[in-house]
Amino acid sequence: MLISSSFSLSVTPTATKSTNSVGSQPQSFVIADELTPADKSLIVASSGSLDPVSSTGEHLGNPFATRIALDRAGGSLTGEVDKSYINTIINQQKAIPSEAAGRDAIIPFSILDKALAYLDQKNATSGTNINTTA
């Protein structure tokens, strides 16, 4: 299954995923439907909300929730989110050149730090936490 690199978020955050067959129409999915209950707890604990809403009532979308949902839909994330998964995201984002980081949608490091702390608190997970400030 291929996941389109471009997607739009609306009142109910959705993303478009491509099908493998030629000539078939893309299918849509609701981001929250791709997330496990454990994913949702982690996202809320680390970012404050599964579906953040601005002061004007606009649904903003959550880049952390979107990343996990897309990785699940694409098959690259099949088990529980663990410290290794979070550290991989941190390393990928650190590798983005600074001039591109402003225009590329990335998950704030503060959210990833909170996700690591949540996983540390929730259960004794193996592995180290990568320093996001270095």
Pairing of strands 27-30, 2-3: unpaired
Q: What is the pLDDT of residue 83?
A: 94
pLDDT at 24: 61
Q: What is the pLDDT of residues 72-120, one digit of tens each?
A: 999 999 999 999 999 999 999 988 887 776 666 689 999 999 999 999 9
Q: What is the residue extent of each domain of the chain?
A: 2-122
What is the band of 36 on the pLDDT scale with cuts at 50, 70, 90? very high
Tokens (6 digits) for 112: 């990833």
Report which of residues 10 and 85 the model is more confident about.
85
In terms of phi and psi (left: phi > 0; alpha: psi -120 to 50; beta: otherwise), the region of 95 is alpha
At 56-77, the pLDDT tens digits run: 888 778 999 999 999 999 999 9
